[in-house]
Amino acid sequence: MTDYSLLLSQRAKNIKPSGIRKFFSAASEMKDVISLGVGEPDFKTPWVIRKAGIASLDAGRTWYTANAGLSALQKEISLYLKRRFELAYAPENVLVTVGGSEAIDLAMRAFINPGDEVLIPEPSFVCYTPIAELCGARPVPVVTKAEDEFRLNPDALRAAITPKTKLLVFPFPNNPTGGVMRRKHLEEIAGVLKGTDIIVLSDEIYAELTYGEEGHVSISSVDGMKDRTIVVNGFSKAHAMTGWRLGYVTGPAPVMEVLNKIHQYAIMCAPTTSQYAAIEALRSCDDDVLKMAEEYNKRRRLIVMRLNEMGLSCFNPGGAFYAFPSIQSTGLSSQEFCERLLHSKKVAVVPGDAFGDSGEGFVRISYSYSIEHIKEALRRIEAFLKELRA
Amino acid sequence: MYDLLKLLEDNARYSDKELSAILGISGEEVRKKIADLEEDGILRGYKAIVDWEKTERDVVMARIELKVIPKRDRGFEELAETISGFEEVQTLYLMSGGYDLAVTVVGKSFKDIANFVAHRLAPLESVQATATHFVLRKYKDKNTLFIDPERDERGVVL
């Protein structure tokens, strides 16, 4: 038998396996488990979008598209970014990708030389560190804290910068914390980056799920930032299109040329059916997006009120669809809390340390579920806490 | 206000506290708004949605179309009031199109319904014709599914 461990790449082998996969496969095999674990919308893709996808199949549009995507879609994305976020990017500088994930991968591969440092605010979505490592970079976590409402603290950022810093991953609104960066906070970050050569990889996949009057502000729209920012966004969260695997990336023209090159060889093009559906999404679904966001907002207020009421201190998340309460008052670790909650009350939530060491002491609770479902799960969590404290 | 009504239409059993959190207004405001809406007759009631099919009790439902000669001075109102008064009647709508009144009636058996049509509706002075349609199965009522919901197929993704 071949010893594959001698053959597999050192970098691939060094990637840390996900520690919680076991936990959730156990959860999925238990009966009557109520999950608050998912990371995708509970809404179905709006009907007109599905119909547009079906129509493209009926019409037999089953070929590859241009590498960068259908030109009509590039144009719609360009219009959308202007309409919603005041971002001016020419259609030819938009690259349609297989989800935001591919866009993140491309951007890292385009910029990283071995030994470069990549700053990654933590807790955060789990893909940044392994991708950076595969590129030979040294990932450097920059901890965000509950007392800063999980924003990237400009002083913490300044302290993490070295001459080797190449990229700053900028994942706001944030999964799992729900933290957002408002304009004044973005300006502080821009101030720290001024005079450096650091590129910002702004993952704005949750942009449409930003709550409050102000709405999402892209760091690219802040003075002096556009030339150093790569904007990643997509259809998964805003348009409830996770399974269609469609995202996009835009940035300065010379950068996009390189991203396109990698994309062309690695992926060829994003799925054609999804691209036709996405054109419809951007032409006629702004209202659907707002309606879904308003639903999440209702659930958000309910869940935050209830968690605080039952003694799990929870900062008021400004975006995404997660609450990230502290469970430190229980004296349990995140993993212990989740395991005991699962076994005693059959509720599945995600331990915070799955999102980086700094997530220890927190759990991620998704509110991408019906209010009825959320209420029942919260009732069980409350009963669990009562038993714990008795 | 529409937000509040929509929520109560979805679930009349939210507590004032839950409503206040969901809507981002104070509990005091919630109570006042509900009292005003009840006062104005906008909130007409709070009732459970029952799937009798799942019980032992026999329930038969029919939808009856009525053609009516309207009264010169009171139009359809007088007849509508009379029919609304029958306790077997669940819904009553004035319709455009091929007939005038749509009546939903509930009884214990086909015979119950037949008797109701023959003895209560048909003899009414201004009723010209009736057409009775029995309900075979209820899939959705009051915006609530009467069939089992789809399984949540979403897995945990970080």
Structure tokens at B110: 């086909």
Instruction: Judge if B129 and B73 occupy the same domain.
Output: yes
Pairing mode, strands A229-234 and A199-203 = parallel
| Whether A59 and A37 share a structural domain | no
Q: pLDDT by residue for chain B (158 residues), tens digit each? A: 789 999 999 999 999 999 999 999 999 999 999 999 999 999 999 999 999 999 999 999 999 999 999 878 778 999 999 999 999 999 999 999 999 999 999 999 999 999 999 999 999 989 999 999 999 999 999 889 999 888 888 887 77
Nearest-by-Cβ selection for A126 from B17, B152, B158: B158
Residue A138 has pLDDT above 80, yes or no: yes
A345 within 8 A of A384, measured Cβ to Cβ: yes
Q: What 3-state DSSP class applies to A268?
A: coil
On whether any CB of chain A is under 8 Å from the CB of B2, the answer is no
Domain boundary (A284, A314, A347) is at: A284
- How many structural domains compose chain A? 2
Q: Which of A27, A40, A301 sits opposite B154 (nearest CB)?
A: A40
Domain span including residue B25: 2-39
Instruction: Tell me the CA distances in angstroms from A268 to A249, A272, A337, B49, one per residue in order.
Output: 15, 11, 44, 53
Q: Measured between beta carbons, which residues in chain A are less than 8 angstroms from residue B157?
A: 38-40
User: CA–CA distance from A75 to each of A267, A279, A283, B106 (Å)?
Assistant: 21, 9, 11, 57
Q: Kindly state whether residue B93 falls inside one of the protein's structural domains.
A: yes
**Overall average pLDDT of the A179-184 stretch:** 98
DSSP B140-156: EETTEESSPPPP-----
Side chain identity at residue B15, one-letter code:
S
d(CA A376, CA A347): 10
Measure the CA–CA gap between A214 and B53, rounded to whole angstroms. 50
- Give ipTM to 2 decimals: 0.79
* Two tokens, residue A8: 């597999």
Contact B158 A306 (CB under 8 A): no
Percent of chain A with pLDDT over 90: 94
Q: What is the pLDDT at residue A103? A: 98
* pLDDT at residue A24, rounded to an integer: 82
Rg (CA), chain A: 21
- Does the pLDDT of residue A301 top 90, yes or no? yes
**pLDDT value of position A350:** 94
Residue A309 DSSP one-character state = H
In this structure, what token pair is assigned to residue B12? 């009349």
Give Cβ neighbours of residue A43 (< 8 Å, ≥ 6 apart): A240, A292, A295
Residues B104 and B129 grouped into a single domain? yes
Alpha carbon distance A149, A177 (integer Å):
9
A305-336 pLDDT, tens digit each? 999 999 999 999 999 999 999 999 999 999 99
| pLDDT at site A60 | 98
Give the pLDDT confidence score for residue A19 in this predicted structure. 65
Structural domain of residue A343, as residue ranges?
A: 4-45+288-389
What is the CATH number for A154?
3.40.640.10
DSSP B125-136: TTEEEEEEEE--
Question: Does B152 reach chain A within 8 Å, measured CB to CB?
Answer: yes
A99: which 2 tokens? 């989800």
Q: Are B6 and B56 found together in one domain?
A: no
List alpha helices for chain A, DSSP H.
4-7, 10-14, 21-29, 47-58, 71-85, 99-111, 128-134, 154-160, 183-193, 253-266, 272-284, 286-309, 334-345, 371-389
Judge if B83 and B107 occupy the same domain: yes
**In angstroms, what is the C-alpha Rg of chain B?**
21
The answer as to whether B58 is a domain residue is yes
Give residue for tokens 């038969």: B60
| CATH code of B95's domain | 3.30.70.920
Q: Which residues pair with A193 in a beta bridge?
A: none
Q: Residue B25: CB partners within 8 Å, gap ≥ 6?
A: none
Whether the predicted pLDDT of A248 surpasses 90? yes
Could you give the C-alpha distances from A273 to A61, A77, A100, A260, A331, in angstroms and in order? 7, 16, 17, 20, 50
Is B125 among the domain residues? yes
* DSSP state, residue A42: S
**Pairwise CA distance, residues A289 & A286, whole Å:** 5
Please, which pLDDT band fits residue A191 given cuts at 50, 70 and 90? very high
Q: Angle formed by the axes of helices A99-111 and A253-266, to 10°?
A: 110
Indicate whether A170 and A120 sit together in one domain.
Answer: yes
Closest-CA residue in chain B for A125? B158
Same domain flag for A208 and A245: yes
Interfacial residues of A (vs B; Cβ cutoff 8 Å)? 18, 20, 24, 27-28, 35, 37-40, 42, 125-126, 175-176, 298-299, 301-302, 304-306, 348, 350, 354-355, 371-372, 375
Q: What is the pLDDT of residue A85?
A: 97
Structure tokens, B126: 């201004």
DSSP one-letter string for B52-101: GGGSSS--EEEEEEEEE--BTTTBTHHHHHHHHHSTTEEEEEE-SSS-SE
Question: Which residues of chain B make contact with A125, given a CB cutoff of 8 A?
Answer: 158
The verdict on B147 touching A (C-beta cutoff 8 Å) is no
Same domain, B72 and B124: yes
Sorting pLDDT into bands at 50, 70 and 90, what band is A174?
very high
Q: Which chain A residue's Cα is nearest to B154?
A: A38
Partner-chain contact B154 A355, CB within 8 Å: no
Same domain, B33 and B77: no
Residue A338 pLDDT: 95
CATH of the domain at A323: 3.90.1150.10
pLDDT exceeds cutoff 90 at A67: yes
* Tokens found for residue A173: 């609104």
The pLDDT of residue A151 is 98
Do A51 and A134 fall within a single domain? yes
CA distance to partner chain A, nearest, from residue B18 (Å) = 6
Q: Quick one: A75 and A125 in the same domain?
A: yes
Residues of A in Cβ contact (< 8 Å) with B152: 35, 42
A270 and A330 inside one domain: no
**Least-confidence region, from A178-192, A250-264, B36-50, B72-86:** B72-86
> Would you say A355 and A123 are in contact if contact means Cβ atoms under 8 Å apart?
yes
* Domain stop point among A252, A284, A316: A284
